[in-house]
Amino acid sequence: MTMNPSRFDLASLRLFVFAADAGSLTAGAERYGISLAAASKRIAELEARVGSALLLRSKQGVTPTPAGHTLKRHAIELVARLEQMAVAMADFQRDIHGHLRLWANTSAFAGFLPEVLADYSTTYPHIKLDLEDMLSDVTARAVATGAVELGIVGENTLAEDLETLVCDVDDLVLLIHPGHALTGKGTVSLAQAIEYDFVALGRTTSLTRHIHAAAEAAGRSLKVRVQVRSFDAMSRMVATGLGIAVLPSAGALPHASALGLEILHLDGPWTKRRLLLAMRDRHALSGPASAFVTLVEKRMEEQADGIA
């Protein structure tokens, strides 16, 4: 028996995706902007329409049932298409010739991304840019659920259901304050640097996870004294002598110059950190998003040719 598509309402499907993605009906309700009681009622009505349980409830939260997993996959596609349609229609009303929605991590914004966006805007001056600086994990989830078409994340970010391509390679460097014991060393190993206190971004950021992983691989632990939210704040903490910091070179250079800090090179393959451009399905991208992917690929090819 074929189920009538009109029995599904998009509001409930969107709520279901939010709750399943968060693993919590409460979090799903908060993100959707309704009460928990209203959310529970909507999910119960959706399950009644489907004729099957969609979420397993427990003290730890909610997890999709087999039927829920199937519905989530199709609901994400439907919600993503709806988001694209809404943006396209809004652009049409404002006489905008396209819309690029892109979320990226701090390393991308501090590094290669501004230059690429400048080239993109020059080539496509009538396309509106909608950009946000977000954690890699948050960005990957947003792409997976269709909230944005494209995201730039660290390579250590969980993105199993997404298509990815390398869009940049960070050269990680060490930022130290004048008079530090490592001053004048030029190049240092992680083993040397790890003897000192560090200033870092939050533990959940892809960059901090990357540094912790490198330390653990060397059988050591990172001594993080201060955690902040931006490269600017990291650099200012380093300038006060509260610790040293690992940053992408592009993010470290302007702060080192402004604050009189020293940049040291770091040894080891772990200092080459790849950033990934993530998308759900390249063949389903809008024109503006597809054009951005092509521009990034061209840039990477030109860099490879220059190295060769």
Q: Give the model confidence (pLDDT) of 117-139 as tens digits.
A: 999 999 998 888 999 999 999 99
- The pLDDT, as a whole number, for residue 96 is 46
The CATH code belonging to domain 168-272 is 3.40.190.290
What pLDDT shows up at residue 161?
83
- What letters, b where the CB count within 10 A reaches 16 and e where it falls short, cover 224-242? bebbbeebbebbbbbbeeb
Q: What is the number of helices (H) and of strands (E) in the chain?
A: 12, 12
CATH number of the domain at 83-161+275-307, out of 3.10.100.10, 3.40.190.10, 3.50.7.10, 3.30.450.20? Answer: 3.40.190.10
Q: Is there a common fold for 5-75 and 83-161+275-307?
A: no
269 C-beta neighbours (distance < 10 Å), count: 6
Yes or no: say if 259 and 175 are a contact pair by the CB < 8 Å rule: no
Q: Which segments of the chain have a pLDDT < 70? A: 1-7, 80-81, 83-97, 306-308
User: Is the Cβ–Cβ distance between 158 and 236 less than 8 Å?
Assistant: no
In the prediction, which pLDDT does 261 show? 97
The pLDDT assigned to 253 comes to 94
The whole-angstrom separation of Cα 110 and Cα 24 is 33
Q: What is the pLDDT of residue 259?
A: 96
- Are the beta carbons of 63 and 74 closer than 8 angstroms? no
> Taking the domains of the chain in order of start, what are their residue ranges?
5-75, 83-161+275-307, 168-272
Both structure tokens of 165: 């391509």
pLDDT at position 250 is 93
Return d(Cα 155, Cα 277) in angstroms, integer.
9
Overall CATH class of domain 5-75? mainly alpha
Its pTM stands at: 0.75
Contact 40, 25 (CB under 8 A): yes
